[in-house]
Amino acid sequence: MAGLDLTHRPRRLRRAEWSRRLVRETVLTANDLIWPIFVIEGQGQREPIGSMPMVHRLSVDEAVRAAVRARDLGIPALALFPNTDPTLRDEKGAEAFNENNLVCRAVRAIRKEVPEIGVMTDVALDPYTSHGHDGLMRGDEILNDETVEALIRQALNQARAGCDIVAPSDMMDGRIGAIRAALDKEGFEQVQIMAYAAKYASAFYGPFREAVGSGGLLRGDKRTYQMDPANSDEALREVALDLEQGADMVMVKPGLPYLDICRRVKDEFGAPTFAYQVSGEYAMIMAAVERGWLDHEKAMVESLVAFKRAGCDGVLTYFAPFVAEKLARQA
Ligand code: PBG
């Protein structure tokens, strides 16, 4: 046809499945997944979460079963989030330092029954505070340095329980270096740190706050410590600081709306880079799936491949067991 330049026919490579497989640039495998799990008190409990279809809050024994499932599916690590009894929440988040708190008991149980799996715990006070904030407060102010002292105690408590990775999600200044030093001093030099390095003050955490029971409590918002969604250069400065202070891995959060940040972080630092496909992202996809507007498997896989394409080494995602099952079926 006149006027068409067909020196190149890019569609040639897309004609057959074998050819598409041959030129595929990124692959998603179970090795890329970290599975976040919500933990509650009790035995044999699997409590559905309204805004997160197919996700449950699990009692410790059920969390152990989830860990077995994860191991069998080849998922390398779990991230644990406790839903703390409201009567144990106070202004200072004291329950965070209790060596027998829910998350510590979950860590010990999983460690014992499923030693092959990596266990990550969140370092931030929000599951424990009566005001729902990640830090200590004076009036309306979230105190930085006092909070870092508390986070150190919380991280040490989790390390003593046997966690493999501590993940500070609080966005206080200087906490990575302080936690690293404290861990080393107590002989936990092998405990890894995954820094929530570029964590944004996002609307997409809503379902998570329902899951851990902090949503109704939250006084105000988190914009004095979590980042402004409008900023990108600032994310690089945050990541640089966390890496300088000894973070082993860095995370961008939320995920899909921040893929540009993932790419910049990976290109700039070349460090192990993760994204958190957060609760609201999961809820959006699942809400559409429930209405029959999106195909569950296709939407799930496409959303996760996007992270690999953007340069991430892995993803924290509530889809972890479902996508790992799908990948296992294919293999
Ligand atoms: C707590 C924390 C949050 C998430 C992970 N750790 C919520 C928040 O900062 O309010 C969100 C995860 C999700 O939405 O899936 N510091």
| pLDDT one-digit tens code per residue, 6-31 | 999 999 999 999 999 999 999 999 99
Structure token digits, residue 81: 């989030």
Instruction: Kindly state the DSSP code that residue 257 receives in the 8-state scheme.
Output: G
The model carries a pTM of 0.97
Helix, coil or strand: residue 213: coil
pLDDT at 216: 84
- pLDDT value of residue 146: 98
**Nearest Cα residue to atom 8 of ligand 1:** 205
Q: Is 308 a catalytic residue?
A: no
Q: What are the residue ranges in the chain where pLDDT is below 50?
A: none
Q: How far is the CA of 154 from the centre of ligand 1 (A)?
A: 17
Eight-class DSSP state of 169: -
Q: Which domains does the chain have, with CATH numbers?
A: 26-330 (3.20.20.70)
Task: Tell me which of 83, 103, 278 to substitute to probe ligand 1's pocket, judged by most ligand atoms within 8 Å of the beta carbon.
Answer: 278
**Predicted pLDDT of residue 331:** 74
So what's the pLDDT on residue 119? 98
- pLDDT in the model for residue 161: 98
Ligand 1 pocket at CB < 6 A: 122, 124, 126, 134, 169-170, 205, 208-209, 222, 278-279
Q: Which residue minimizes the CA distance to atom 7 of ligand 1? A: 205
- Map residue 141 onto helix, strand or coil: strand
**Ranges of H-type helices in the chain:** 17-22, 60-73, 102-113, 144-161, 175-185, 206-212, 233-244, 259-269, 279-290, 296-309, 320-330
Q: Point out the ligand 1 atom lying closest to the alpha carbon of residue 122.
A: 6
CA distances from 115 to 107, 162, 183, 309 (A): 10, 10, 21, 31
Tell me if residue 199 is catalytic. yes
CA 210 – ligand 1 centroid, Å: 11
Assess contact for 134 and 81: CB atoms under 8 A. Answer: no
pLDDT of 330: 85
Instruction: Please name the amino acid found at residue 167.
Output: A
Q: Ligand 1 pocket check: which of 52, 208, 214, 225 to mutate, most ligand atoms within 8 Å of Cβ?
A: 208
